[in-house]
Structure 1
Amino acid sequence: MSNSIDDPGHGHSPAAWTAVVIMLVAVTLGTLFFVLDMPVLVWASAGLLIVGAIVGWALAKAGYGAYGDKYKPKQH
C-alpha cells in the first residue's frame, strides 16, 4: 500500500463523487421503473446514466478530477 501524497486514490475527487451519485440514482430509478413496468422512464433513466458519465468527465476536464488543479487530496 502506498502512503505517497502523489497517489490521489480511486474516486476521491469531486468529479468522481458527482458522477457516481448521479449514476447510482439513475440505476436505482431505472430498476424501480422496470419493476413498475414504465418503459419510457426506464429509458429516461438510461439517459440519466449517460448524463452522469458526461458530468463526471466534464468536471474532471474542468479541474475537479483526481489530477486536476482545483482538487486538493486530503491527508489520510
Structure 2
Amino acid sequence: MSKAAHGHTPAAWTGVTIAFVGFCVSGVAMIIPNILLFWAGIAVIVIAGVVGKAMSIAGMGKQPSKNFAPVAEERTPVAAG
C-alpha cells in the first residue's frame, strides 16, 4: 500500500481538510440545534469533493504509474509436456 502513495497528494490533503471542517460545522450544528448551520456544513463537505477532484484534474493528484503493467491482460495456461 505504501508503494501506491494512496492519498499522499495536495489534492487529497486539501479535500480531506475541507471535508473535516464541514463535518465539524455540522457536528456543532447538531449540538446547538441549528438546521441552517447543519446544511451549511453539508454544503462544505460537498464543496470539498469538488475541490479535491478539480485539483486532481489540474495535476495535483496521483499521477498514473508507469511501473505497473495493465491488469486487464489475460494469460493462457501453458500445457505440460
Shorter-normalised TM range: 0.7 to 0.9
5+ residue gaps, structure 2 = 65-81
Percent identity, aligned pairs only, is 34
Q: Could you tell me how far apart the structure 1 residues matched to 2:32 and 2:63 are?
A: 41
| TM-score (norm. length: structure 2) | 0.73
CA distance in 1 between counterparts of 2:41 and 2:12 reads 19
Aligned residue identity for 2:63: Y
Distance 1:53 1:27 in 2: 13
Do the aligned residues in 2 keep the contact of 1:33 with 1:41 (CA within 8 Å)?
yes
Tell me the secondary structure at the aligned position of residue 5 of structure 2.
coil
Superposed CA RMSD in Å reads 1.6
Write the distance in 2 (CA, Å) between the matches of 1:38 and 1:10.
Answer: 36
Q: Which residue of 2 aligns with 1:48?
A: 44
1:11-65 CA deviation, whole Å, 9 max, x = no partner? 1000000000000010011001111001001001100000000000000000000
Max Rg structure: 2
Return the TM-score normalized by structure 1. 0.77
